[in-house]
Each structure stands twice: as C-alpha cells, then as structure tokens.
Amino acid sequence: VFIINGLLFSFVVLGLFTIQPNQAVILQFLGDYVGTVKSTGFQWTIPFFRTRRVSLRIRNFETQKIKVNDNEGNPVEVASIIVWKVIDSSHAIFEVDNFVGFVYTQSEAALRGLIMRYPYEAYDSNSISLIRNTEEVSLQLKVDAQQRLTEAGVEIIEARISHLAYSPEIAAAMLQRQQASAVIAARSQIVEGAVGMVESALEIIEEKQIATFTDEKKAQMVSNLLIVLVSEQNVQPTIETNH
C-alpha cells in the first residue's frame, strides 16, 4: 500500500506545473506536439509529457545602425524600433530554430528593403520620401516585417524609424544641396509674389486713371518694380529730369 501510494503521489507531483500571466507551455510526448496550455496558475499533465515555456509578453528592441543606399543610390544610416510579441507559441518553437534571433534578423532585412524602395528626400510633393513621410514609411515597415514573421507566430505591434541620416561621407554635400534647393524655392516664391504685386499695381493705376503708360513706359515700370521687389539690397531711386 505504501509503495502504491508513493507511486501515485510521485505521479501526481511530477505532473504539476505553474503558468505565469502571459506565458504559454507547450506539451510534447515522445517528440510529438500534444498541445499548448495558456491558463494561469497550477496545472497538471501526464509526467511523461515534456513541457517548454514561451513568453507571450510584449517585447521591443532597436536595430543597429546600418548603412543602406536609398532609391537614388545615396548612402544613408538608419535604425528602427520594433515592438513585437508571440501569438502562436507552437509556430515560434517548431517553425524556426530560434524565434528571437529570427525576429532580429528579419526585421533588419525588412528595414533594408524598405530604405532601398524610397528616396531620402523627394522634390516632388506627390512622391513619398523617407525624411518627409515618416508615418507612411513606418507603417510600410510594419507591414514588411509582419510578412516575414507570420510563419514564426510573431505579431508586429509597432515599427518605427528611430534614426535616419545621410552617411558622414556625403552629409556635407547633401547639406549644401538642401541649402541650394531652399534658396531656389525661396527665390521662386519671391518672384511669383513680386509679379503679382506689379500686376496689381498697374491695374490700380489704370483703374484710377492716375497715369497713362505707353507700352515702353509700362515695360520700364514693370522692370523697375521687379528690381525693387526682388533685389536683396536696397535700391537707390533714380529721378529723371527734363532740361
């Protein structure tokens, strides 16, 4: 009786295990997958079953800064933050050898592919660029990473670019190009505004009959007004006198 009770007691005790919140236990028997237990607290199973624990908690990591050529061939440095969790523990254990390393490697591969798809900056307002359309780029990174990690039973909760800059060897040249582009854009806006002001001034003068201009005088006035409005230096007035 004591031997039988001892065997029964050992059989019961060896089958007991606990599960923490956001944790799953995978059961195997002779190498075959039996099932997954996610209920928290004390659980019991046949002692001959092998148990493997998998955390279902949310995890995050930041990829290393990597150098990638963008869509236009410019080298850029980029890094991202990936927030993820396991949603299918059996896939995480049996489909890949090391699902944590798999997440790291595939997330970096998705980031590389994304950077090569878009330019760092676009001069066309309708085009997507890495520096201007951060929300769209981050959303696409999440989609790309999820496609690579679905088979591993992993869900990407959030993916976001944490670092983005030109590589040091071209940073100075790119800064000069940005400054030149900004100057050109500013000058274009100034010229457009000046032309509108000249047109409005001529219309008011003719409407109120302040003066009458010949085509030659009108052209001269337009030229003078544009010089005054567009010039970056103070313009000295010239007064014509008739002898």
- Does 7 score more than 80 pLDDT? no
The per-residue pLDDT for 240 is: 58
Q: Which amino acid is at 112?
A: R
Number of H helices, E strands in the chain: 6, 9
- How many other β-carbons are positioned within 10 Å of the β-carbon of residue 93? 21
pLDDT at 241 over 80: no
Which residue in 232, 233, 237, 133 sits closest to 183, CA to CA?
Answer: 232
**Confidence band for 182, pLDDT divided at 50, 70 and 90:** low
Is-contact 124 72, C-beta < 8 A?
no
- pLDDT higher at 124 or 74: 74
Between 223 and 183, name the one with better pLDDT: 223
Other CB atoms within 10 A of residue 211 CB: 9
d(CA 141, CA 161): 9
Secondary structure (3-state) at 239: coil
Q: Provide the β-strand partners of residue 210.
A: none
Mean pLDDT of 145-160: 92
Contacts of 93 (CB under 8 A, 6+ apart): 26, 52, 54, 99
Nearest to 36 by CA among 45, 28, 25: 25
Dist. CA 171–CA 177, nearest whole Å: 10
Prediction pTM value: 0.65
Residue 237 has pLDDT above 60, yes or no: no
Neighbours of 46 (CB within 10 A): 11
How sure is the predictor about 214, in pLDDT bands with cuts at 50, 70 and 90?
A: low
Q: How far is CA 109 from the centre of its chain?
A: 14
Q: What is the mean pLDDT of the chain?
A: 78
CA distance 113 to 68: 9
